[in-house]
Structure 1
Amino acid sequence: MTTITRTVTIRNPLGIHARPAARLVQAAQASGCTVTIALPGAAPVSAESILSIMGLGLAQGDVVTITATGDDAESAAESLAAILHADA
């Protein structure tokens, strides 16, 4: 299995609210990989849990680390990074 890590800066002025969090969860679940998201110095949380993601309180300018482990980890990490990096 492959593990891929991406660092992403949140660009959305509203941060990661319910709609982008739901897209993130759907993408993580569809990837078939184990995916986590973490703020610097904090424990990673599952990207498959909307409550965990919302609990991070991600705001514009926050930097997070996405870690994907699985056969398609590269694609999963890129997909989730794109969602987190979107302007809206």
Structure 2
Amino acid sequence: MPARKAVVRSPIGLHARPAAAFVRAVTRTGFAVRISKAGRPAVDARSLLEVMTEDFDCGCEVELSIQADLVPAGSGPSDADQALDGLCALLDSQAG
């Protein structure tokens, strides 16, 4: 299962608009992405409600992972890696 660590840079964390933008980007990848922070179980990153209720604050380190058993047909490991890299870049670019 591919995974990446990232830091939430949005000043308000993953709440409201930053969370909505993140969830839209996750949905566009077509992958079943999960997001978690230390000490908490992973949640479905395609769900705005789940993302917003997890309290991913500014500066919070998160782990993004893709469920290997839910990879879309025709997608390979490099596609999953690219999707995670793009999502990490999005979290990093929301600094302001």
TM-score by length of 2: 0.80
> Match for 1:82 among 85, 89, 93?
89
Q: Note the residue ranges of structure 1 that are not aligned, 5 or more in a row.
A: none
Q: Note the residue ranges of structure 2 that are not aligned, 5 or more in a row.
A: none
Larger strand percent:
1
Q: Match for residue 2 of structure 2?
A: 4
Q: Kindly name which structure, 1 or 2, has the bigger radius of gyration based on alpha carbons.
A: 2
RMSD: 1.3
Quote the offset at 1:30 in angstroms: 1.2
| Structure 1 residue ranges (4+ consecutive) displaced by more than 6 angstroms after TM superposition | none
Q: Match for residue 16 of structure 1?
A: 14
How many Å separate the matches in 2 of 1:44 and 1:73?
18
How many Å separate the matches in 2 of 1:41 and 1:35?
18
How many Å separate the matches in 2 of 1:20 and 1:83?
10
How many Å separate the matches in 1 of 2:59 and 2:31?
26
Aligned residues: 86
How many Å separate the matches in 1 of 2:2 and 2:21?
20
